[in-house]
Amino acid sequence: MTLKLDDAQTAARAWFESLRDRICAAFEAIEAEAGSDARFGYTPWNRDGDPAAAGGGGVQGLMKGKVFEKVGVNVSTVGGAFSPEFAKTIHGAGEENPGFFATGISLVAHMANPHVPAVHMNTRYLTTTKRWFGGGADLNPPIPYDEDTAAFHARLKAACDPHGADYHDRFKAWADDYFWIPHRNVHRGVGGIFYDHLECADDAGFDANFAFTRDVGEAFLDIFPKIVRARMGIAASDEDRRAMLNFRGRYAEFNLVYDRGTAFGLKTGGNIDAILMSLPPTATWE
């Protein structure tokens, strides 16, 4: 027995998996340009370890290379019922109807060169008693470059503008608010966009929000490899690497304490290694 999907769920899952394939190919090409033979390894998993996959599952993609010190690109498609307490925190769920479906892609890249920014991208489609899209992307440079920040935001704005005149301003502000580490009183990085609960009340709403979510994925695939190629050859000092390791400590704190995706995965029977792939391979707290 496997998880049964409707047409919208099938289309969303297929898109996320196809985006995964193209992103992984682009990242492997960068590794090849750097003289590395690193490639992604893929590990499938089933929700709650169920061999029948009645609750769905996913595939963890992981590569450790010369440019990408550690990059995870995961896809998952899961369904079932939330616990009563967790259901209270989820849009459209509750004690009366705790059922859910979720499919999405999640990516985090930690780079070997401190001059190349770490990055996060996630887009997803969920159904409870409602159905909606959410996601975003944000840049996390240990050593920020204003031109990289400007290019990243400009490309995301170009993805947002055809879908809503206020989308970029709204979702940029949402990212600034979300990717904030209260106990450090700092942002996690230089921001990007974050959106959630773009509801699909009918097929037209699904089509519109799905189109926007696809454009976010395409924008990421377009801009991030360009930034990597521009920075990966810059010489890095010991002090540069020390700054990166300290920055990674802040990144880990956010993901373990505040990140909603981490909590969602842990509370819905996800694969632990896939959930925690967002953590850096090494970090320091000084």
Q: Which residues contact 55 (CB under 8 A, 6 or more apart)?
A: 3, 46, 47, 48, 78, 79, 80, 269
Q: What is the DSSP string of 46-71?
A: EGGG-TT-TTEEEEEEEE--SSEEEE
Q: Which residues contact 50 (CB under 8 A, 6 or more apart)?
A: none
Residues 110, 120, 168, 187: which is the catalytic one? 120
Show me where the domains of the chain are located: 7-278
Residue 1 confidence (pLDDT)? 44
120 is catalytic: yes
Inter-helix orientation angle 203-231/146-160, to 10°: 160
Six token digits for residue 16: 């996320």
* Average pLDDT, consecutive stretches of 10 residues, N- to C-terminus, the chain (286 residues): 86 98 98 98 88 86 98 96 87 87 97 98 97 98 98 98 98 98 96 97 97 98 98 98 97 95 88 92 95
What fold characterizes domain 7-278? oxygen-dependent coproporphyrinogen oxidase (3.40.1500)
Residue 20 confidence (pLDDT)? 98
Q: What is the DSSP string of 107-173?
A: EEEEESSTTSPEEEEEEEEEESSSEEEEEEEEEE-SS--HHHHHHHHHHHHHHHTTT-TTHHHHHHH
DSSP β-ladder status, 41-46 and 56-63: antiparallel
Cα dist from 12 to 56, 72, 209, whole Å: 14, 20, 11
